[in-house]
Amino acid sequence: MVALIVGLKWQLLRNGLRRSTPQLVGLVIGGLYGLSVLAVSVSGLIGLRIAVPSDVARSVVVIGGSALTLGWVVFPVIAYGIDETLDPARFATFAVPRRQLVLGLLVSSLVSVPAAVTTILGLATVVTWSRSLLAILVAPVAAAIAVLTCIALSRVTSTAFSAASRHRRGREAVSVLVLLLAVGFGVVGSSIIKRLSTPGLLHHLADVLGWTPLGLAWSAPADIAEGAIGSGLLRLALAVIVLAAALLAWDSLLRNALENPRGTTSDRSATRGTGLGWFGRTPATPAGAVAARSITSWRRDPRYISAVAMMFLLPLGLLLAPLSGGSRLWSLAMAPTAGFLLGWSMHNDIAYDGTAFWAHVATGVSGRADRLGRLAPTAMAASVLLPGYACLGCALTGRWSLWPALFGIGLGFLLTGFGVASVMSALKPYPVPGPGENPFGAPPGSSALTVAVQAVAGTAVFVLNLPLIVIGFGALIGHVWMGWLCLGLALVLGSAALGLGTWWGARIYERRAPELLADLSRIR
């Protein structure tokens, strides 16, 4: 049975390679890149034996190993849906004894590229610790435990996650949570890394990690190599306990998945009021209806919630420079950045509808109503974010006279972005994750079109706003009147771009609505 499951995994891996030639080329390039990274890492681990004192080697191996283990834990959540080939729930209808299934799934997990890489890295640490006979004996054992722990922990998260994701609400909550964690980690991590330049802190971090479940197995041979045999063996024993605990946790999750393979799917308690919601608040016109529908989707669909979080957080990222002692002038860019992101982001809005767009085609809604209505949610967000970020920029630099220029450039970016997006989204939708899919996943084979459309839209918006940026720079170097000129010009230029863009976009839309629907059903 174990051999059969491993064979299945091997077959799936091989069939995965039998796709189109471009995908194969991509895979080969990716593989070569991975191999070169692996080669550098392995020679680095060997170099740690020859050229470096053992305490530095310990820090490097423990921090690197812990990061690798953490990656195994987190990866199934970020990349869910990528490798469900051996989803335990799919074995539910076959009467496989659970012991054999657990063993089979564990061993079959070793048949994968990441597992092979981890195993090779683990074996390379044996060279790193070949500083005494005992260390040479212990290191392979510790490496094996480390690799198995990686795999077992990753199976725990993927099984737990796939159980949670049987409920739509659970899946959506997790993906938004991961997004926030990723952004938070980016913000906190970058400031930590800056401070890590002092080597003392690096050693300290390694000491702490070495006693966590992530680093126990990686630090055990380091102790032995340094002669601290007692603590080394203690860590090894603890690492075995961690591995056993992970396997037990996985086993019990698996039992749950097998006995209840489909979960209880209906969220009948999900009743959310019987009213019209936003449909009662917007004007009772087709454009108003499209606006209400867009706003409702933005509030309830995690794909939009992730996008909103990015638009909100990316400008805040400009605060990192002032916070870590850089120039405060960066904070002035917040309002323009927000305006750009908010306006530009609408250029593929229609793709998020997917084939539900048929309702617009079937009802023959006018292009103008479709174009204008879609802008409503971002326009609402911008009405708060743009003045707010402009104020924040002024407050941090103490130069309130710049407010008209900052708000003006932001507004110019927003409105011209709307105009460009109204044309682009009627022309060429590119693939996005479907409703209920991983909001970070990019559908395969779409990247060239995606990059092209994004670049065209971005360049168009930027070029249209060059005059505003130049005048805004005049305000920055001290000409207050230029700030007001900037704001006035933004209103004129922006309104013109918006009017022209929606008019042109509406014409394209009305000519191409059925073709858009065909595009949307093809890319989904």
The yes or no reply on residue 368 touching other proteins (CB under 8 A) is no
Site membership for other proteins, residue 308 (CB under 8 A): no
Give the footprint of other proteins on residues 66-95 (CB under 8 A). Answer: none
Query: Is 350:357 a contact under the CB 8 Å cutoff?
Result: yes
Is 233 or 356 the residue whose CB approaches other proteins more closely?
A: 356
Contacts to other proteins from residues 167-186, by CB under 8 A: 168
Binding of other proteins at residue 431 (CB under 8 A)?
no
356 contacts other proteins (rule: CB under 8 A): yes
CB 341 within 8 A of CB 316: no
Nearer to other proteins, 285 or 459 (CB): 285
φ, ψ of residue 287 in degrees (nearest 5): -60, -40
Q: Which residue has the tokens 């926030």?
A: 180
Give the DSSP H or E segment for 10.
helix 2-17
- Confirm if 475 and 483 have CB atoms less than 8 A apart: yes
Contact present, 410 and 339 (Cβ < 8 Å):
yes
* Segment interacting with other proteins (CB under 8 A) among 39-47, 363-371, 403-411, 475-483: 363-371
Which span (36-44, 157-165, 374-382, 510-518) binds other proteins, by CB under 8 A? 510-518
Q: How far is CA 280 from the centre of its chain?
A: 35
* Contact pick of 360, 371, 374, 399 for other proteins (by CB under 8 A): 360
In angstroms, the CA 328 to CA 392 distance is: 11
Q: Does 132 bind other proteins (CB under 8 A)?
A: no
Q: How far is the CB of 434 from other proteins (least distance, A)?
A: 8
Measured from the CB atom, the residue of 169 and 204 that comes closer to other proteins is 169
- Tell me how far apart the 2 most distant CA atoms of the chain are, in Å: 82
The span from the CA of 83 to the CA of 438, in Å, is: 13
Cα separation, 97 vs 82, in Å, equals: 26
CB of 167 to other proteins, least distance (A): 10
| Residues of this chain, 240-299, that bind other proteins according to CB under 8 A | 266-268, 270-274, 276-277, 279-280, 284-286, 288-290, 292-293, 296-297
Q: How far is CA 213 from the centre of its chain?
A: 25
Regarding 377 and contact with other proteins (CB under 8 A), the answer is no
What torsion, rounded to 10 degrees, do the Cα atoms 223, 226, 229, 234 define?
A: -10
> How many amino acids of this chain bind other proteins (CB under 8 A)?
46
Classify residue 433 by its DSSP letter. P
Contact between 363 and other proteins per CB under 8 A: yes
Q: Which residues bind other proteins (CB under 8 A)?
A: 168, 266-268, 270-274, 276-277, 279-280, 284-286, 288-290, 292-293, 296-297, 300-301, 353-356, 358-365, 369, 435-436, 514-515, 517-518, 521, 524
